[in-house]
């Protein structure tokens, strides 16, 4: 599920940061940006929105005032440079209260509260690609670069991500992880396995070998897998 988001903030630098952050999280979709709370209210009267990133100190209509008017179904994440309003923000059942300047890690922690089923999200950071993996502990995420992943294994209600140095287990589905990984770099070979193409050491008609580990090729995935292999064979 993607959450349709709008940003309401009269400070252009703040809106640019939020737009950048939203673009990095796969379950968020920016639909509009407003520097005026009244214009945002007009939009909300006709358009469906799931989440609003809402500045508090704005002319004419403050973020707190706007949050009292809009539908209770819209989830509010307050963004402000003033910590004095935090208590009032939480009394209005806000999802979270972000204090400017907002770090990405803090932003991600806030939006992760929107969807407890979104355990793993792909985040692009210029030339680097990495994922944040939800592990044990409240809102604890481990950062893992995609280049480190050897293969991903489904364990019923959990997923194990294998690297050279560690195994990270998260409560998620293999389908959710597949949707979070770049298709060009990863391929599903079995109902329980997804492998990194560049980590494949060898393959035959029945198995794929990754880091000395033999992984089975499922009949359902066999044709699609070897089509990928054909693109790189000589």
3-state secondary structure of 136: coil
More confident residue, 86 or 65: 65
More confident residue, 113 or 220: 220
Q: At 23, is the pLDDT very low, low, confident or very high (cuts 50, 70, 90)?
A: very high
N-term to C-term CA, the chain: 41
3-state secondary structure of 26: coil
* CB-based contact 14:79 (threshold 8 Å): yes
pTM summary value: 0.51
Task: Measure the CA–CA gap between 171 and 134, rounded to whole angstroms.
Answer: 8
In order of 14, 52, 112, 179, 214, the CA distances from 102 in angstroms are 9, 16, 15, 27, 45
Q: Tens of pLDDT along 181-208?
A: 888 899 999 999 999 999 999 999 899 9
pLDDT of 219 strictly over 90: yes
Q: Tens of pLDDT along 38-68?
A: 999 999 999 999 999 999 888 889 888 999 8
Query: What is the separation of C-alpha 87 from the centre of its chain, rounded to a whole number of angstroms?
Result: 28
């Amino acid at each position: 599920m993607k959450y349709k988001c709008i940003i309401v903030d009269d400070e252009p630098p703040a809106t640019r940061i939020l737009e950048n952050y939203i673009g990095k999280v796969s379950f968020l979709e920016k639909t509009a940006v407003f520097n005026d709370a009244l214009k945002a209210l007009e939009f909300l009267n006709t358009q469906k929105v799931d989440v609003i990133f809402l500045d508090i100190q704005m002319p004419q209509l403050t973020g707190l005032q706007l949050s009292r008017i809009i539908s209770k179904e819209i989830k509010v994440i307050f963004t402000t440079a003033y910590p004095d309003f935090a208590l009032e923000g939480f009394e209005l059942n806000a999802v979270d209260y972000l204090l400017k300047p907002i770090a990405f890690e803090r932003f991600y922690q806030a939006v992760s509260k929107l969807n407890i089923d979104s355990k793993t999200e792909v985040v692009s950071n210029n030339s680097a690609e990495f994922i944040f993996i939800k592990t044990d502990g409240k809102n604890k995420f481990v950062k893992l670069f995609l280049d480190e992943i050897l293969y991903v294994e489904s364990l019923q209600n959990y997923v194990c991500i294998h690297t050279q140095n560690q195994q990270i287990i998260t409560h998620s589905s293999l389908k959710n992880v597949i949707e979070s990984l770049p298709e060009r770099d990863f391929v599903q070979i079995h109902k329980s396995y997804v492998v990194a193409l560049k980590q494949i050491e060898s393959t035959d008609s029945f198995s794929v070998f990754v880091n000395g580990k033999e992984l089975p090729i499922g009949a359902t995935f066999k044709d699609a897998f070897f089509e990928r292999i054909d693109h790189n064979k000589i």
